[in-house]
Amino acid sequence: MAALSFLVFAPAGVRAQVTVSGEATATFGSRDNVAFFNYTDYEHNALRMFRVSLAGMWQPAARLAFLTELRSEDAQRVIPYALYARVRPFGGRAFFVQAGRIPPVFGAFGRRTYGADANPLIGYPLAYQYLTSLRPDAVPASADDLLAMRARGWRVEFPVGVRTAAPGVPLVSAYRWDTGIEAHAASARLDGSVAVTRGTLSSPRVTDDNGGVQISGRLAWKPLVGLVIGASAARGEFLSRAISDTYAPVLGARSYSQRAVAVDAEYSRDYWIVRGEVIDSRWTVPELNLPLISRPLRATAGFVETRYRFGPRYFAAGRVDRLTFSRVRGARLFNGTPTPWDAPVTRLEAGAGVYLRRTLTARAVVQRNWRDAGRVTARTFLSAQIAFGF
């Protein structure tokens, strides 16, 4: 993505650098208003979307910068996707601190920027987009309540908490950034970040809803040119205070958290780039009625993707993706047989693209999804996208 950079002279004669960049993408694809495989936490179809983003950086001093990114999806409200300050306290060293609505430090996919280099396909990996049947503001009273919502992440309703039906959460939200403070340091071989934020990976927040915080971090190792290996971890309070306070007199003061770990790797050479990532997330919910949900609810997602460039203009890409869930035992449903608490999903995606110009990309993608529950258990989607960066 190209960027415009220029100098602004403040009244005191201070030279302040301003950089502005942006991207507009128009994606045309199959409707997904029955299966909801590509539904996002902003209730949009990831394969049928018009998105405009505008990013800016104002650097009033060599060690201080203010950054923001504004986004609008499907010509709806403008959302401050990013809004933070960056301070470099030690000149000449690869260390900085950021505060505000900050970039994620967990995982690899969410840290990428724009264009075909960031996401060579159109859809997102399941871990970062697919909505599970969990919500921070509503919980199942029993294992049967949870099993009844399998493959219903687009419209989840539970008897405890907010009773209105609403979307569930993904393992890690790629469409929202969290609010807090982050520190980053790097050397020739190592790159590390740690952050303290208000929300969790699956439910980033601007305003606090439970009085807790999340601590997350990632360490990346670059043993040789083209190879990056990373490991991440995070833990934060997931459920809203309205739920935890209601049951504290009965269950005691407990932590209802989301805990996650991840490993990722990337290798690039010549015209190839191969990436992979595995994420394991666990949520703790209250044990209310029989049959109890006595263990943390676990979800594991992994994907491998690759891209090959046929010279400077053309490229092809593919991704294999899988999302699985731990088992719970209901009473009324599934005859008491241990059953995954949500429906496991498999996704294959392949496509090709062309750089029409340096800042203009066109691509076409086919995506196939399978799962073992829901109104629709298998669906193929076709989509095309035009992306313009400036």
Q: Which of 191-195, 225-229, 286-290, 377-381 has the lowest mean pLDDT?
A: 286-290
Q: DSSP assignment, residue 143?
A: H
What are the φ and ψ backbone dihedral angles of 231, each rounded to 5 degrees?
Answer: -140, 140
User: What tens digit of pLDDT does each residue of 288-341 get?
Assistant: 999 999 899 999 999 999 999 998 899 999 999 999 999 999 998 888 899 999
Tell me how far apart the alpha carbons of residues 134 and 200 are, in angstroms, rounded to a whole number: 13
Residue 159 is predicted with a pLDDT of: 93
User: What tens digit of pLDDT does each residue of 250-296 get?
Assistant: 776 788 999 999 999 999 999 999 999 999 999 999 999 999 998 99
User: What tens digit of pLDDT does each residue of 17-61 get?
Assistant: 899 999 999 999 988 888 999 999 878 899 999 999 999 999 999
Tell me: pLDDT of 1 over 60: no
Tell me how far apart the alpha carbons of residues 390 and 384 are, in angstroms, rounded to a whole number: 20
Percent of the chain with pLDDT over 90: 77
Give exposure, 283-308, as e/b (b: 16+ Cβ within 10 Å): bbbbbbeebebeeebbbbbbbbbbbb
Q: Which residues pair with 262 in a beta bridge?
A: 232, 279
Burial of 79 (0-12, 13-18, 19+ CB in 10 A): middle
Average of pLDDT values for 172-187? 95
Tell me: pLDDT of 103 over 90: yes
Any residues with CB less than 8 A from the CB of 286 and at least 6 apart, and which? 139, 160, 239, 243, 244, 247, 251, 254, 256
Q: Report which of 302, 317, 310, 309 is spatially closest to residue 119, judged by C-alpha positions.
A: 317
Residue 14 is predicted with a pLDDT of: 54
Which position has the higher pLDDT, 4 or 368? 368
Structural domains present in the chain = 31-48+101-389 (2.40.160)
Tell me: pLDDT of 120 over 80: yes
Please give the structure tokens belonging to residue 222. Answer: 């670059």
Mean residue pLDDT of the chain comes to: 91
Q: What is the pTM of this model?
A: 0.92
Tell me: pLDDT of 9 over 80: no
Average of pLDDT values for 229-256? 87
Percent of the chain with pLDDT over 70: 94
